[in-house]
Amino acid sequence: MSFVMPVLNERRYLERAVTSTLEQRVDGPIELILALGPSDDGTTDLARELATTDPRIVLVDNPEADIPVGLNRAIRASSHPTIVRVDAHSELAPGYTQRALDTLARTRAGNVGGIMRAEGRTPFQSAVASAYNSRVGLGGGAYHGGGKESEAESAYLGVMRRAVLDEVGFFDESIRRGEDWELNLRIRSAGFRVMFDPALSVTYWPRESWARLTRQFLATGRWRGELVRRYGTRNSLRFFAPPALLGTLVAAVVVGVLRIARVLTGPLAAILGLVFLPVAAYAIVVAGFAATRRGAGWRERVWTLAVVPTMHLAWGAGFLAGVTRGARDTVDTSRLSGRNTPLP
């Protein structure tokens, strides 16, 4: 069993991610291959320290810092027939890997994934986590909300057969975000099944600040726009919801300004004023979601009111830029330790 983990500026989370991985119990040997990007927060030193204490940890360099490049280097350095993708910002639940292996064998799938169960340590991070876990925030993908075992469009992280990767190719290194979706598209196109198993659970720790969250979703949206340019209607319709929301909001602002300036009057103003209805409905949904959060304190509820629109509108803005201009060299800078590094 080969676990592969790209790592960049994850000193706060790396040790728990490594520990939860190496504590997995499976029949046969395991190895954990860390693809180390050029961290500047002490992550690389910590990784080397961990590697000296456990021979199952293998280190490979990933100077480009791109996730798909790091994953491919880790996979090429692996020596076992099953590949388990692990995120340095996550923790595997006990029994995760053995359950995934059982599902992989039982369903004869090429890739199996489970639920991303986001959690937070601060009011802000908890608000982001609640949005991740809800259809109000990232609705659509089964791995955000759960459901029954079924074939899936994609898989969160993924437990994959190495033979399948050898046949369809590894991660596309020209795609910096959404690389897992594109790989699973090729897996399905080759005739293999991608399975979702709700019994598989991975704890995920979201971004810790509003600025980092915004940069993450701008980059993710822009790369989804790039994937729409490349693969068109093979993308799910749900990916068009955030840009539609952004467009509706902009239209509502324009109509509102024109009505206040009395440029729009009479029946036309009334007809165009219908654009306020979906905006009001969205505001009610977000407010209701924040107000009904169980066990949430007032700070977390307030942050939820900011977090959900930020995720949707940043993603939508990035998507529109990606569709019209492509992703080009856009990278997700939200993992960098530098202060608010802008997207290129």
- Work out the burial of residue 263: count CB atoms within 10 Å of its CB; fewer than 13 is exposed, 13-18 middle, 19 or more buried: exposed
Q: Which of 267, 264, 236, 237 is nearest to 251 (CA)?
A: 264
Pairing label, strands 159-161, 82-85: antiparallel
Q: What's the distance, CA 47 to chain centroid?
A: 23
> How many CA atoms are closer than 13 Å to the CA of 68, on its beta-carbon side?
17
Phi, psi of 112 (to 5 degrees): -130, 135
Q: What is the pLDDT of residues 224-235, one digit of tens each?
A: 999 999 999 899
The listed CATH number (3.40.350.10, 1.10.10.60, 3.90.550.10, 2.60.40.650) that belongs to domain 2-206: 3.90.550.10
Q: What is the pLDDT of residues 23-34, one digit of tens each?
A: 999 999 999 999
Calpha distance 249→280 (Å, rounded): 10
Domain boundaries, the chain: 2-206, 227-335
Q: What is the pLDDT of residues 259-313, one digit of tens each?
A: 999 999 999 999 999 999 999 999 999 999 999 988 889 999 999 999 999 999 9
| Rounded average pLDDT over 199-204 | 93
Calpha distance 198→141 (Å, rounded): 12
Say whether pLDDT at 342 is over 50. no
Where is average pLDDT lowest: 76-80, 147-151, 182-186?
Answer: 147-151
